[in-house]
Amino acid sequence: MIESALVKKNYSAKTRITVKSLISAALVALAVILPQIIHAAFGASGGVQWLPMYPPVLLGGCLLGCAWGIGIGVASPAVSFLITLAFGNPMPAAARLPFMIAELAVFAAVSGVFTKKIAANGWLAFPAVLLAQVAGRASFMLLVLIFRSVTPFTPALIWSQIQTGLLGMVLQAIIIPFAVMGLRKFLNRDKND
């Protein structure tokens, strides 16, 4: 969606890459900061319930497309892990990190598939986010099933966490599409308005 808006306004390729890089960096920073805020406000269980790393990644996919979104999805938990590791309490935990990287990459890839369609019709942000959420959580569960002999996670534990996070996912499924539609409207405004 961002690419479409920048191309429509005749920005150079260098400027488009710069803008997308800055947006990506901001979204990764947000994905690192939001979990810290949620954990401070709601404790360790707040992350499982409110899923604070998901919104920036979903925004990244919807706004920037698959490739940039996947970059955000992979970088967010990795950067968060490295920064919080320096303080002795890594988030996400090391055992969870590869699963979250894969899950968030799926979130971004699925929502990113819709980016050009969202540029044409903002309402398509709703199915983009919903399908990304379902695919991402399903990929997490599938990976746990595949690697259950070498991971501390069980399908029952992940299913329990999915159920705990349903409220957070429902709120995100409403808020993120409206945020994307608002940004779309802002990007497509006429200079004469």
Note the pLDDT tens digit of each residue in 16-32: 999 999 999 999 999 99
Domains of the chain (ranges, CATH numbers): 2-187 (1.10.1760.20)
Give residue 191's pLDDT.
54
104, amino acid identity: L
pTM of the model: 0.95
Which spans in 88-165 are helix H?
97-113, 115-120, 125-146, 155-164
Note the pLDDT tens digit of each residue in 85-135: 999 889 999 999 999 999 999 999 999 999 999 999 999 999 999 999 999
Note the pLDDT tens digit of each residue in 132-169: 999 999 999 999 999 999 999 999 999 999 999 999 99
CA distances from 148 to 57, 143, 156, 158 (A): 26, 8, 11, 11
Is residue 192's pLDDT more than 80? no
- Please tell me the total number of residues recorded for the chain in this structure: 193
Compute the mean pLDDT over every residue in the chain, rounded to the nearest whole number: 95
Which spans in 43-96 are helix H?
44-50, 54-64, 66-85
- Going 122 to 27 to 128 to 47, the CA torsion angle's sign is negative
73 vs 109: CA distance, rounded Å: 9
